[in-house]
Amino acid sequence: MRVLVIEDDHALAEVIAEGLGDQGIAVDLAHDGLTAAAKLDIAGYDVVILDRDLPGLHGDALCQMITERADRPMVLMLTAASAPGDRVSGLTLGADDYLAKPFHFPELILRIQALARRKPDARPRTLHAAGIALDPIRRTAVRDGRQLNLSVKEFAVLQALLRASPGFLSTEALLEQVWDENADPFTNTVTVTVSRLRRKLGNPPIIATTPGVGYRIA
């Protein structure tokens, strides 16, 4: 899952990004509306966390722009404006959910996961393929009844491959979905992570590699 956090409070944005990253979510940051609009044109996001009172381009205008996109991300407004009227106006603009500041971080995580499941092209909650059952909410992965002890990145790579199955994901696509915009496209981190994941999945091997194409669950 990839999330764009649009928040002009730099300290809060970093806290949110760090917390989401600990959950294996790829996070990009924007601190004003114009930067956010540019990032939305470049990358595909599952969920956008949107502050309303943004410099450059107000969050309300940005929300309306997002809702007009053909393949739009889900929008969670995260704002200090907490009166019932503020919530109604935010949802009227096209936001899919609304959470007032201050907030409890576990609730934010659950709301993001719920929005990702509601996205039109989202897969069912539990992903199944090749004897694997992966539950993103409980953060459990099982192969043929055997619990898999995966790192955050290994879990996220497996989730991305299961979501794409039976199709391929290129190294670049995995970098975009599992890491973030700061990932070095020339790094071997994807190769290393997939290699560790293969060992933990055990035999028979189920991650196939096609040079020049990418990886898939065989």
User: Other C-beta atoms within 10 Å of 31: how many?
Assistant: 17
Length of the chain: 218
**Can you give the pTM of this predicted structure?**
0.64
Answer for the pair 163, 127: CB distance below 8 angstroms, yes or no: yes
Phi, psi of 6 (to 5 degrees): -110, 105
pLDDT at 5: 96
Using the Cα atoms of residue 99, residue 100, residue 106 and residue 108 in order, give the sign of their dihedral: positive
Predicted pLDDT at 125: 67
Spell out a b/e string for 77-104, using b for 16 or more CB atoms within 10 Å of the CB, else e. Answer: bbbebeeeebbebbeebbbbbbbeeeee
Per-residue pLDDT of the chain (218 residues; tens, 9 = 90+): 889 999 999 999 999 999 998 888 889 999 999 999 999 988 889 999 999 889 989 998 999 888 888 778 999 998 876 666 777 777 888 889 999 888 999 999 999 988 988 876 655 568 888 889 998 877 889 999 899 999 989 999 999 999 888 888 888 888 888 887 666 766 788 899 999 999 999 999 999 998 888 899 88
Residue type, 30: A
| DSSP structure string for 41-95 | HHS--SEEEE-SS-SSS-HHHHHHHHHTSTTPPEEEEEES--SHHHHHHHHHTT-
- Per-residue model confidence (pLDDT) at position 14: 94
Residue 6 near residue 59, CB atoms below 8 Å: yes
Query: Three-state SS for 77?
Result: strand
Q: Are 201 and 189 in contact (CB under 8 A)?
A: no
Q: What is the 3-state secondary structure (H, E, C) of 161-209?
A: HHHHCCCCECHHHHHHHHCCCCCCCCCCHHHHHHHHHHHHHCCCCCEEE
Q: Which domains does the chain have, with CATH numbers?
A: 2-118 (3.40.50.2300), 127-217 (1.10.10.10)
